[in-house]
Structure 1
Amino acid sequence: MSDILIYKTFGGLPWTPKFVEEIDKALCLGCGRCVKLCVQECLGLESFEDDEGTERHVAKIVNKDQCIGCQSCGKICVRRAYTFKAKSA
């Protein structure tokens, strides 16, 4: 069994990073707040045409390897479209 990665905060408290796993495209509004917030540039926007012919945008994971597990994208998301997962050591 693998151990979950656990680090410490500046104050010495235990902290487990949880990395972006998936974005629920049915929930995503395409507002782009998460994309602007991510300093690691893990996220981007993709456009598509919906059933009514309207151009829409949704967030997508473009560079998962850059994710540091801060979960800021999920915290700013008003629709709670993000899921996260801890990484094993």
Structure 2
Amino acid sequence: MSEVVVCQTFGGLPWTPQYVEEINKEVCLGCGRCVKLCVQECLGLESFEDDEGTERYVAKIVNKDQCVGCRSCGKICVRHAYSFKAKLA
């Protein structure tokens, strides 16, 4: 049976990383706050044309393997477009 990966904080307290699993593109505003915040460069923006022909942007996971599970992207997201998942050992 697999167990959830548990790390430690600097002070030695247990901490379970929650890795970015998905971004709800229906909810995302494409503001880019999460992209600027992610020091691991896991995120990017992709453009698309909406039904009215206007160019819009949404956040996109571009390098999931770099994610450290800090959840900062989800915390800064005003629309709560992020979902996270713990990793099994």
Q: CA deviation at 1:86?
A: 0.2
1:24-82 CA distance string (max 9 Å, x none): 00000000000000000000000000001111000000000000000000000000000
Structure 1 residue runs of 5 or longer lacking an equivalent are: none
Q: Which residue of 2 aligns with 1:2?
A: 2
Query: Where do 5+ consecutive residues of structure 2 fail to align?
Result: none
Distance in 1 (alpha carbons) for counterparts of 2:24 and 2:80: 9
Pairs within 5 Å for 1:1-89: 1-89=1-89
- The amino acid across from 1:81 in the alignment is A
TM-score w.r.t. structure 1 length? 0.98
RMSD across aligned positions (CA): 0.5
Q: Report the TM-score, using the length of structure 2 for normalisation.
A: 0.98
Give the Cα–Cα distance (whole angstroms) in 1 for the partners of residues 5 and 84 of structure 2.
14
Identity of aligned residues (%): 81
Kindly tell me the number of residue pairs found equivalent between the two proteins.
89
**1:32 partner amino acid:** G
